[in-house]
Structure 1
Amino acid sequence: MDEDGYVFLVDRIKDVVIVNGYNVYPRIVEEAIYQHPSVEEVTVIGTPDLQRGEAVKAFVKLRSGMPLKAEELHIFLQNKLSPIEMPRQIEFRDSLPKSMIGKLSKKELIAEEKTKF
């Protein structure tokens, strides 16, 4: 929302994660995580959560030779994200799924998370 009260959507409406009734836009969380120098790629999705409706989960691919722990990333994000936007889970992967044109794809990760619930 700008100073005049206009609201702007910053991500695709279907990508919105609803946490305790609040809208969390994955793009905002991804942009904050990308600020860490160890992060090469990141994608953020909503996962089912019995208490909150959905929870924010980040899948992170690190740059070669640059170690990072989930706790360190949480500390890094503390002044960049609100508590609602903060990922409840951070999963490190060697690679992230991509579409045929090379864009990061969330579909596979969403399907994978639904099978866990």
Structure 2
Amino acid sequence: MIEIQRASQLLKLLGDPTRLTMLKLLESHDCCVCEFVAIFEMSQPAISQHLRRLRDLELVTETRRGQWIFYSLNREHGEYPFVQRILDLLPGQEASILDLESRGLRICCE
């Protein structure tokens, strides 16, 4: 069971469409900042701010691969089941990943 105050904090964070979509994407694919920049057509600083907020609540984790940092959904997070229930209600984002691959941007960080 999750406390009301904590649920409110998580829901505020997930109330932003960009952050919510990021988590849905991370549900099935690790991504780096440059991939999010291409998907959302936003600046790198704006994407980094969204990721910082997700990191601050430890909903995402970082893994360094060479010079790149990849983000993934933190399935070990204490409130992951709460977040997962929300993500389960959302449409898949596979088309965004396929679009990146078709434009040759999915592999730019490897």
More strand by share: 1
The structure, 1 or 2, with the larger RCO (C-alpha pairs under 8 Å, 6+ apart) is 2
Q: Give the TM-score taking structure 2 as reference length.
A: 0.32
More helix by share: 2
Q: Give the TM-score taking structure 1 as reference length.
A: 0.31
Structure whose alpha-carbon radius of gyration is higher: 1
